[in-house]
A and B are shown apart, each in its own frame.
Chain A
């Protein structure tokens, strides 16, 4: 298939269809509206079901019901709407329901704004809803990568019986880029023998549930979940290492910001400064090891996290660097996007300071 020009949100929706998603429950919120709009047209063409819910709360609970019934199901929203979905997300995690949640992040807190942001990092990776649970969080840096990751997200969700969040930002959702829909590598997936499909008189009854009234049972459930999360950490951590060889400064950035940082790296190179980048593709599980290894490189003098936030992911960079090298931060927030020039200036200031 040749490359076609696709808008990020619509490409994400089509990728879900191609991955076999046949149920979509959503609610309007900018800047992700093209996802439900596209789904409303496309789902009937593939005998699927698009439903506009009365709220984000209802939408995620429809996802819960459909996922529990064994379907491939997705919802999408943007930051304030994702906050509303947190109840349903923790129930999905607790009941181990595979589903895909797309967050096209906008500025916050509160109503915030409608321009691109990365200020939902804490919410996505450190909990969001109540209780001990983890989401697999995928962070595409291009429309092509969004398409690839959305397709893989459904397989990951099914393999681990866990919700997967695809976290783009307003830029990924709204920009148009050339895209090629390629077949993603298929994983062997377990049968959904646990799903509530009606017994058809062929098996014992199935129950989808996250309630364990006996605290010892609830603790056991949590331990079992954490064994699963350990396996996800071992198998699914993804990272792009860029230009690390001989780098004096190593940027850590994801999503749209990583694209901007790549421009800054080229600009620095022209000035004779060697810079590299670690780009987490999975925000959870986080690629701590890649940063830890870079911290051990003799050439590396400092890390600089660049985010469209006041500094959220930088905390994980510090954890990984473990004091071996200084960790700096530069960010714009509230819908403002960093410029390569500003990143270059910050980097030069840091290197001056480090020297």
Chain B
């Protein structure tokens, strides 16, 4: 019998703790498959964040370090400087990367640190229970924005990919989504390109993945996928913002 689908060696057998309908599991799988396909697992060192993906070190089947909240890019900098030949990645949510870790990600990009950041944007703090994130959409309800985000009070959501794409040494920046199969396939391609650009020593690489949080959005998994498509993508346009060919 032909094998149609097999679990990647890039993931351990540990059962994910993620909520039903959360897309972290898909994104983990894509990153792990890419590392396996590029033969990077035995030289990969990942950095897990604080937030929903805090246990990522239990799931990725490679060396891992757990970082303090927002500090994954600084930790990854230390690792990659020690082992320049290794494949280093950070896996960070939007509270971690766009709020408390904003300085670390900007300066890692500025220095052109040669690692790959998987930036999972679900427009909310998931682990702590649905608080407003820098990426929460205007009008979107959160436990610290019970009437919905008010732009006059809390500003407008941060577009991280667009911001980082202005940094010369951020050589690969792409925003993708995982709300349907077509986009999942595109997301994997982007993640693969990012790792390839890293291994070619081009500079800092980041893939922003729009993701769902049914639990804290108060929606079913299916409603969540639809909400992402109809609300997040218009504000966070998908596409490639930087690729190595652009670098002169």
Binding site for B on A (CB under 8 A): 23, 25, 49, 51, 53-55, 57-59, 61-71, 73, 87-88, 91, 95, 196-201, 205-211
CA distance A78 to B43 in the complex (A): 37
User: Which residues of chain A are within 8 angstroms of B45 by Cβ–Cβ distance?
Assistant: 69, 196-198
Chain A residue with Cβ nearest B78:
A65
Whether B76 pairs with A65 at a CB distance below 8 angstroms is: yes
Nearest to B57 among chain A residues (CB) is A207
Chain B 25-66 near chain A by CB (<8 Å), digits 1 or 0: 000000000000000011111010000001001000111111
Which chain B positions have C-beta within 8 A of A210?
66
Cβ-defined contact, B64 with A70, below 8 A: no
Minimum CB distance partner of A87 in chain B: B68
Task: Evaluate contact between B63 and A199: CB separation under 8 angstroms.
Answer: yes
Contact indicator B78/A73 (Cβ below 8 Å): yes
Contact A53 B74 (CB under 8 A): yes
Residues of B within 8 A of A211 (CB): 54, 66
List of A residues within 8 angstroms of B78 by Cβ: 23, 25, 61-69, 71, 73
Q: How far is the CB of A76 from chain B (nearest CB, A)?
A: 16
Top 4 closest pairs, chain A to chain B, by CB: A65-B78, A61-B74, A66-B78, A65-B75
Question: B74 touching A65 by the CB < 8 A rule?
Answer: yes
> For the complex, what is the distance from the CA of A58 to the CA of B76, rounded to whole Å?
11
- Pick from B63, B74, B81: contact of A196, CB below 8 A: B63
Which of A63, A68, A87 has the largest number of chain B CB atoms within 10 A? Answer: A68
27 A-B pairs with CB atoms under 8 Å apart are: A51-B77, A54-B104, A57-B74, A59-B74, A61-B68, A61-B74, A62-B74, A63-B78, A64-B67, A64-B71, A64-B78, A65-B76, A65-B77, A66-B78, A66-B81, A71-B78, A87-B68, A91-B67, A197-B83, A198-B42, A198-B44, A199-B41, A199-B42, A201-B42, A207-B63, A208-B66, A211-B66
Q: Is B116 an interface residue (CB 8 A)?
A: no
Q: Is B181 an interface residue (CB 8 A)?
A: no
Contacts of B41 in A (CB 8 A): 199
CB-nearest residue of chain A to B65: A208
Closest Cβ of chain A to B85, distance in Å, is 8
- Taking the complex as formed, is B206 at the interface, i.e. its CB lies under 8 A from any CB of chain A? no
Do B75 and A61 have beta carbons less than 8 Å apart? yes
Residues of A within 8 A of B74 (CB): 53, 57-59, 61-62, 64-65
Q: A23-B78, A65-B78, A68-B75 are in contact. Are A205 and B68 (CB under 8 A)?
A: no
Q: Give, as a whole number of angstroms, the nearest-CB distance from B76 to chain A.
A: 6
Interface residue SS majority, chain B: helix
Cβ 8 A contact of B79, one of A69, A95, A205 = A69
- Does B219 count as interface, using CB distance less than 8 angstroms? no
A66 nearest in chain B by CB position: B78
Other contacts beyond A57-B103, A198-B44: 6, CB < 8 A:
A58-B74, A64-B67, A64-B78, A68-B79, A197-B63, A199-B41
Contact of B103 among A55, A196, A199, A205 (CB under 8 A): A55
* Chain B proximity of A34: nearest CB distance (Å): 22
Q: Which of B73-109 contact A (CB under 8 A)?
A: 74-79, 81-83, 86-87, 103-104, 106-107
> A23-B78, A61-B78, A65-B77 are contacts. A88–B68 as well, Cβ < 8 Å?
yes
Assess whether A51 is in contact with B81, with CB atoms less than 8 Å apart.
Answer: yes
Instruction: Report B-chain residues with C-beta under 8 Å of the C-beta of A88.
Output: 68, 71
Assembly CA distance A196 to B80 (angstroms) = 11
Chain A residues near B57 (CB-CB < 8 A) = 207, 209
Residues of B within 8 A of A201 (CB): 42
Closest to A208 in B: B65
From A23, A58, A68, A70, contact of B71 by CB (8 A)? A58
CA distance A67 to B67 in the complex (A): 13
Across the interface, which residues of A come within 8 angstroms of B104, CB to CB?
54, 57-58, 61
Complex Cα gap A210–B48 (Å): 12
Q: Look across to chain A and name the residue whose beta carbon is closest to the beta carbon of B48.
A: A209
B65 partner, pick from A53, A57, A87, A207, beta carbons under 8 A? A207
Interface contact B63-A49, CB-CB below 8 Å = no
- List of A residues within 8 angstroms of B87 by Cβ: 198
Residues of chain A lying within 8 A (CB to CB) of residue B65: 64-65, 68, 95, 196, 207-209
CA distance A114 to B77 in the complex (A): 30
| Whole-angstrom CA separation of A71 from B103 in the bound complex | 25
